[in-house]
Structure 1
C-alpha cells in the first residue's frame, strides 16, 4: 500500500507524531538527569550554602544545552527517532560554549544569593532586596535566551551575550512567556523539591524552545550566512 499515491507512510500520522514527541522527551529527560546527576544528587541530599549550590549546578548548563539541541533536531517521524544521538552530539559540540554562558550566570546568582542570605546583617534598605531579586530574574531570562542561541548557533560568547540581551526587548512576548515559565519553575521548587523540577527538565526545555521560535528565526535570517 505504500506505493499508492497519497498513501500515508507508517510513522507519519498524528498519533505517531505525538508518540515520537513523548518518546523524545523521555529520552532527553533521562539524559539530562544522567549528565547533571553528580551535582543534582549533592544538591538534593546536602543543605549547603549558596556557593555549594552553584557548584552543584555547573553540570546543568551543558545538559540543558544538549537538551535544546536534541529537541531542535528531533525527528517528527516515529521510525526516524534518534534523540540520544542528537543529545550527545549537542553535548559534545556545545559543552564549552554553554559553560562560557552558564558560569557567569551562576556567579551572578551566587552573589545575589549570598547578599540575600546575609541581608539582615548588612543593614541595607528593603528595596535593595527587591532589586537583587529583579537582577536574578533578569539574569535567568537572559541565560535562557543565551542557552538557546549558543545551543543552536556557532557564535562567540560575547556575541551570544549581546544577542540574548537584545532579544529580551526585541521579543517581549517570548520574554513574558519565559517569565511565566520561571514562575512555574520557582513554584515547583518552592512547593515540592529541586528533584521535582529536575524531573520536568525536558518539558520545561521544550517549552523554552517553543517560546524562542521568533528569536531563532530572526537569528537565522539576520545573523547567519545562508
Structure 2
C-alpha cells in the first residue's frame, strides 16, 4: 500500500468517523482522570448547606480539565493516521493551567457565595426579589465563565482581556449565549437527576457541545482579535 493510498484511506469519511470516536473516548477518559481528585470527595459529600464551600473546592480540577479537553478537541485533525488526542490534552492542560485557574477560581468563589446566600434566604428574611436577583447573577457569572474558558483554552490573552471578551460576546453572539445557557441547564439537570459521577462520564459530550456552540464566537475572535 503506497503512502498516497494510506493517506487517502486516513482521510475517508469512515476513517474520520473512527478518528472522531477515538478522540472522544481518549479525551473523555483523561477528563475523568484529571477531575477524579475532586470528583471522589464531591460524590461523598452530603447535601448540607455548610458543605457548599467544600463543593467549590472539589470543583477546582474541573476548570483546567475542561480547558484541556476544549484544546484537544479543537486541534485534533480528523485523520485516522494522525491521532494524538492524549498528547494534545496534556499540552493544553500544561499551557492553559495558569490562565484557566485565574478565571476558574474567582468563578467558583462567586458561585459559592451566590449558592450560600440562596440556601439561606429564608433565614435571612430578605424579600423574594433578592433571590431572583441572585439567580440572575449566578447565571450571568456562569455564562461569562463558560465563554472565558473557551477563549482561554484556544487563545492567549491577558486575563482581563479574556473577561472583557467573555462579557462582550454575551451580547455580540446571542445564539452562543442561549446555547451555552441551555447546555449549563442540562448539566445541572443531569447532576440533580443522577449524580456528579454520571455528568463526569458524559462530560466530554458536554465539552464537545460547548465547543460547537461557541464556534461563532471562536471565529470572530480569530478574525477580529488575533493577528
Q: Same fold (TM over 0.5)?
A: yes
Give the 5 Å matches for 1:1-226: 9-47=8-46, 49-225=51-227
* C-alpha deviation, 1:50, in angstroms: 0.7
Paired residues in the alignment total 224
* C-alpha deviation, 1:115, in angstroms: 0.4
Kindly provide the CA deviation profile for residues 107-148 of structure 1, in whole angstroms up to 9, marking residues without a partner as x: 111101110111110000112111111211111111111001
State the distance in 2 between where 1:44 and 1:4 align: 50
Bigger drift between 179-188 and 50-59 goes to 179-188
* C-alpha deviation, 1:4, in angstroms: 8.0
Gaps in structure 1 of 5+ consecutive residues: none
TM-score by length of 2: 0.94
Kindly provide the CA deviation profile for residues 128-170 of structure 1, in whole angstroms up to 9, marking residues without a partner as x: 1111112111111111110010111110000000000000100
Are the counterparts in 1 of residues 7 and 81 from structure 2 also a CA contact under 8 Å?
Answer: no
Secondary structure of 2:187's match? Answer: helix
Gaps in structure 2 of 5+ consecutive residues: none
Q: Which runs of 4+ in 1 moved over 6 A?
A: none
Secondary structure of 2:91's match? Answer: helix
Are the counterparts in 1 of residues 96 and 153 from structure 2 also a CA contact under 8 Å?
Answer: yes
Change (3 A) 1:3 1:54: closer
State the distance in 2 between where 1:216 and 1:54 align: 28
State the distance in 2 between where 1:33 and 1:201 align: 8
State the distance in 2 between where 1:216 and 1:122 align: 42
Bigger drift between 28-37 and 9-18 goes to 9-18
TM-score by length of 1: 0.95
Kindly provide the CA deviation profile for residues 33-62 of structure 1, in whole angstroms up to 9, marking residues without a partner as x: 111111111000122611000000011110
Are the counterparts in 2 of residues 2 and 9 from structure 1 also a CA contact under 8 Å?
Answer: no
Q: Give the CA RMSD over aligned residues.
A: 1.6
State the distance in 1 between where 2:78 and 2:203 align: 20
